[in-house]
Amino acid sequence: MNTFGRHFRVTTFGESHGVALGAIIDGCPAGLTLCEEDIQMELNRRRPGQSKVTTPRNESDSVEILSGVFEGKTLGTPIACIVRNADQKSKDYEMFRDIFRPGHADQSWEEKYGYRDHRGGGRSSGRETVGRVIGGAIAKKILYEKYGTQILGFVSELGGVKAEIFDAEEREKNPVRCGDALAAEAMLKKIMDAKRASDSLGGEITVFIKNPPKYLGSPVFGKLEGELARAFLSCGAVRSFGFGSGGGAKDEKGSSQNLKREGISGGISTGDDICITVSVKPTPSISQPQTVHQKDGSVQENFIIGGRHDPTIPPRLVPVLEAMAALVLGDALLAPVVRMDLL
């Protein structure tokens, strides 16, 4: 299942250390102004090697559009985009051919598919999200141009440090992708501490959807919150999802809850802003000795995982979650007409 969406459909492909990654976007309406730079901009926010809190793997992640755009505008036909891998260093991964890295999908994929690309986790790698960001960039453009919708993700907590300010400009200035300069500095310190301790950190991301179009969402099984939850939980390290009152809903009373504007009512967007919070687990790749399971069933103690990793996931996950939110909204936007008078 590598296609997301029913109407605005993104099919992604690619392994971490294969020839290329990318996406086909099918269902994008004709007449949208689109060029490679529109997509590259978002890929740059996701790309490895962009700062000291990301993996040193150096990929320019340059996108090439192969179809669906003619003389600068979309044709309504599938938009195929590819990003070639460059800095693979597959040899570094030879040691993982027969071992299952703790906290990674190595074992479950090996057992389900019976065959696996062990290099960097193959398709279970976070590198898979390149295709998501490509699709999301296009959806974002449609949403912004037509509705002024903005999707803004922030690292809101990391290493116990909570952000108080959500400033979109500030966010792009620090490597943590936090909207609060002071908090960002403290978070950065926590990350460096963990890195030195050969450990990694989890964190929290908050995504704001500002000025969403009204009436998105298809009850009863296509409720907007459900589609968003699926989209966010389909990203590797995410462990929870909440919107509106979120995890705090359990402590509300009807008289207080009824006064809230959560942006979604009965599964349908109201036009009010939507706020989503997700909890993200730490990078499973850490360079301290761990017990690992091997393909032959045996166990190896004190194994040290090599390779290049992010010490924490949230800073690079921000653009991915933004992309996923954009895909959900873009898909809902293209859902069929539900009123005879609008047919």
Question: Binding a copy of itself by CB under 8 A: which of 187, 280, 320, 329?
Answer: 280
Rounded Cα gap, residues 215 and 269, in angstroms:
5
Work out whether 32 is an interface residue with a copy of itself (CB under 8 A). yes
Work out whether 15 is an interface residue with a copy of itself (CB under 8 A). yes
Q: Return contacts of 98-101, CB within 8 angstroms, 24+ apart.
A: 98/294, 98/295, 98/296, 99/292, 99/293, 99/294, 99/295, 99/300, 99/303, 100/292, 100/293, 100/294, 100/295, 101/284, 101/285, 101/292, 101/305
Question: Binding a copy of itself by CB under 8 A: which of 96, 232, 320, 322?
Answer: 232
| Angle CA 336–149–335, to nearest 5 | 10
Nearer to a copy of itself, 169 or 336 (CB): 336
Question: Binding a copy of itself by CB under 8 A: which of 62, 107, 150, 211?
Answer: 107
Q: Which residue has the tokens 């949403």?
A: 143
Work out whether 12 is an interface residue with a copy of itself (CB under 8 A). yes
In whole angstroms, the minimum distance from the beta carbon of 226 to a copy of itself comes to 4
| Chain centre to alpha carbon of residue 128 | 10
Q: Which residues, 241 to 260, sit near a copy of itself by CB under 8 A?
A: 241-255, 257-259
Question: Binding a copy of itself by CB under 8 A: which of 99, 228, 317, 321?
Answer: 228
In whole angstroms, the minimum distance from the beta carbon of 316 to a copy of itself comes to 16
Q: Which residue has the tokens 């997700």?
A: 278
Crossing angle of the two packed helices 314-333 and 224-233, in degrees rounded to 10: 140
In whole angstroms, the minimum distance from the beta carbon of 166 to a copy of itself comes to 17
Q: Which residues, 292 to 331, sit near a copy of itself by CB under 8 A?
A: none
Binding mask 164-203 for a copy of itself (x = CB under 8 A): ------------------------------x----xxxxx
Work out whether 133 is an interface residue with a copy of itself (CB under 8 A). no
